[in-house]
C-alpha cells in the first residue's frame, strides 16, 4: 500500500517519499507563521511551536537559495562568466 504525503498548513509534506517543499511553499508557510504570530491570539506554547516552525522553514529556504546560487555560479563558470553573487553588497556594509 502506498503512503500518501499530506500537506501541512505551512506547505510542508509528511510521509515517506514526500518531496521537500519548494521555495513558494516555504514562503507561503512563513507568511502564515508570521500572520498567526502577529495576531497574538495563540497561547504561549503554540506560539513557540509556530516560531520554531518558522525558523525551520527559513533555514530550509536559505538552503534552497544557496543551492540555486551555487548552480547559477557553476553555469556562469562554464561560460567563463563567473560573477560572485555574494560579496558585492556585503562589502558595502563594512
Q: What is the DSSP letter of 10?
A: T
Cross-strand bridge partners of residue 7: 13
Q: What is the DSSP letter of 20?
A: P
56, HSE (Cβ side, Cα atoms, 13 Å): 14
pLDDT at 12: 43
Number of domains forming the structure of the chain: 1
Does residue 18 lie in a domain region?
A: yes
Question: What is residue 22's three-state secondary structure?
Answer: coil
Domain of residue 29, residue span = 6-92
pLDDT at 20: 76
pTM for this predicted structure: 0.62
Measured between alpha carbons, how far is 78 from 2 in angstroms, rounded to an integer? 41
Does residue 1 lie in a domain region?
A: no
Banded model confidence at residue 93, pLDDT cuts 50, 70, 90: low
Does residue 44 lie in a domain region?
A: yes
Banded model confidence at residue 89, pLDDT cuts 50, 70, 90: low
Measured between alpha carbons, how far is 41 from 38 in angstroms, rounded to an integer? 8
Decide if pLDDT at 15 tops 50.
no
Amino acid at each position: 500500500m502506498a503512503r500518501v504525503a499530506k500537506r501541512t498548513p505551512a506547505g510542508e509534506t509528511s510521509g515517506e517519499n514526500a518531496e521537500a517543499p519548494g521555495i513558494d511553499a516555504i514562503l507561503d508557510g512563513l507568511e502564515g507563521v508570521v500572520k498567526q504570530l502577529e495576531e497574538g491570539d495563540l497561547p504561549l506554547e503554540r506560539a513557540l511551536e509556530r516560531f520554531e516552525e518558522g525558523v525551520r522553514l527559513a533555514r530550509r529556504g536559505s538552503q534552497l537559495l544557496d543551492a540555486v546560487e551555487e548552480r547559477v555560479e557553476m553555469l556562469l563558470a562554464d561560460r567563463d562568466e563567473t560573477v560572485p553573487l555574494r560579496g558585492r553588497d556585503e562589502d558595502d556594509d563594512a
